[in-house]
Amino acid sequence: TFEVVFVGRSNVGKSTLLKSLTGRNVRTGKRPGVTLKPTHLYFDDFLITDMPGFGFMSGVTPEKSEDVKNTIVRYIEEHADRIYLAVQVIDGPAFVEIVERWDARDEIPIDLELHDFLEEMGIITVIAANKMDRVKEDEKDELLGEIAEIFGYEEGPWKESGALIAPVAARAGDIRPLVSHLKNEFHKMKRDDLFKHF
């Protein structure tokens, strides 16, 4: 099995992105943060795993949020041998502010914790910065540079930072940069058979 996992906090548009990418509905009608278990779908001979959304939401306690994080970490540890890629979905325009809020509390945002964890596990991670339709064209590069830096990549132009960042607008179906990254990584793994019709 060749597995790709999707992680992200609740409401970043992970379901919308998966729908746009695969044409299939995942996790429809379920309240965010309530479902603890990962869900799966087979697509083009690989397994896509949709991790539960994490983060604070109304009706979701901090303990529950920790539970979700631990579920994700445990799942990834258990299946590390078959997970080749992760797509970490973030809300592009909201991300910097979310991180600052955590910083103010002297806490590390779950997004960053998970990113470091995935790196430690040797899993290639593409950051899908979603909702970029909300960012003005001439402000996109600066925002993406900030995001790369927050994730610990080099300061400067985001395209040269070493981060695999895909600016997308999932609701409008504008996901080309993500598809390019995925195809590129599959190619490096000599799995050009995956995603061939894209």
Distances (CA, A) of 93 to 74, 105, 132: 29, 21, 7
Chain residues 72-111 in contact with ligand GDP, contact rule CB under 6 A: none
Which of 147, 194 has the CB closer to ligand GDP?
147
Distance in angstroms (rounded) separating the CA atoms of residues 158 and 83? 26
Distance in angstroms (rounded) separating the CA atoms of residues 149 and 96? 10
Smallest distance, Å, CB 172 to ligand GDP? Answer: 6
For the chain, the residue count is 198
Taking a C-beta distance cutoff of 8 angstroms, is the pair 22, 48 a contact? yes
Query: Edge to edge, what strands does the sheet with 165-167 contain?
Result: 39-43, 46-50, 3-8, 83-91, 124-130, 165-167
Distance in angstroms (rounded) separating the CA atoms of residues 169 and 171? 6
Taking a C-beta distance cutoff of 8 angstroms, is the pair 85, 14 a contact? no
Smallest distance, Å, CB 162 to ligand GDP? Answer: 25
Among positions 130, 135, 147, 164, the unique one binding ligand GDP when judged by CB under 6 A? 130
User: Counting contacts by CB under 6 A, is residue 33 touching ligand GDP?
Assistant: no
Taking a C-beta distance cutoff of 8 angstroms, is the pair 108, 102 a contact? yes
Taking a C-beta distance cutoff of 8 angstroms, is the pair 101, 23 a contact? no
Which of 53, 109 has the CB closer to ligand GDP?
53
Which residue lies nearest ligand GDP, judged by its C-beta? 13
User: Counting contacts by CB under 6 A, is residue 8 touching ligand GDP?
Assistant: yes
User: Counting contacts by CB under 6 A, is residue 52 touching ligand GDP?
Assistant: no
Smallest distance, Å, CB 61 to ligand GDP? Answer: 18
Among positions 37, 74, 134, 196, the unique one binding ligand GDP when judged by CB under 6 A? 134
Residues 151-190: x where in contact with ligand GDP by CB under 6 A, - otherwise, as a string:
------------------xxx-------------------
Among positions 15, 49, 65, 161, the unique one binding ligand GDP when judged by CB under 6 A? 15
Beta bridge partners of 56: none
- Enumerate binding residues for ligand GDP (CB under 6 A): 8, 10-16, 32, 53, 130-131, 133-134, 169-171
